[in-house]
Structure 1
């Protein structure tokens, strides 16, 4: 069972980190977000940007918080590139929902430095989709814009 944005945040490790009730190696914090090192990094320097206010996924974030989280992730990526961790690329990765590999149900962005031969891959089996199907998908999404 997953949490909703209105349910208790008791037991949420990211809420505990934000409240300083759990340990974390904090890189940056302000009134809206906390950025800290991932306890299970896929590469050295892998960090997470987490809103202070509990939100399960994208749908639960208000626009100003969402904008700020992405902006801080951008700044963290820039800082990693300028740091003594000489990475050659950056992935900003979002897992929104269990089907998208989300395991902690408090919204967070992964900022992952990439190094040659680091062993972490995201290689999908790509299949080209017919234009008529793409057009239909586009219309379904347009119809849902509010």
Structure 2
């Protein structure tokens, strides 16, 4: 398989890892878009969110809980962070191995700049 992220999982391409367990790896993005820009990927190759199946539910939940933990350990929890998964070409997915971006360390521009009702 010629997948960049699978090669990172296998250790054939180096990365600046911040977390690893039996199911996921997290590392610094090589083209950061924020002062803190980490990627969280499953070790299992799944190309896009559209390729996830019902039996991937536990893995997906694990990824999100680890993303929360990694963001907290990176010092982002108090001021906030953005968690992004791009699905497909039009959404900007470049590497076809599902992954989540953890972005933070500064005030990020809102995705929808229109005022919204307060939901709290």
**TM-score scaled by structure 1?**
0.68
1:35-70: CA deviation from partner (whole Å, max 9, x where unpaired): 000011101221000000100122333101111111
Aligned length: 111
What's 2:118 paired with?
Answer: none
Matched, 1:44 2:38: no
What's 2:6 paired with?
Answer: 15
User: Structure 1: where are the runs of 5+ without partners?
Assistant: 1-9, 127-146
Report which of the two structures shows the higher radius of gyration computed on alpha carbons: 1
Matched, 1:66 2:57: no
* Greater RCO, 1 or 2 (C-alpha within 8 Å, sep 6+): 2
Q: Which has the higher helix share?
A: 1
What's 1:92 paired with?
Answer: 83
Residue 46 of structure 1 contacts residue 113 of structure 1 at CA under 8 Å; is this kept in 2?
A: yes
List aligned pairs for 1:111-122, cutoff 5 A.
Answer: 111-116=102-107, 121=109
**TM-score scaled by structure 2?**
0.82
RMSD: 2.1
Query: Which runs of at least 4 in structure 1 moved beyond 3 Å after TM superposition?
Result: 120-126
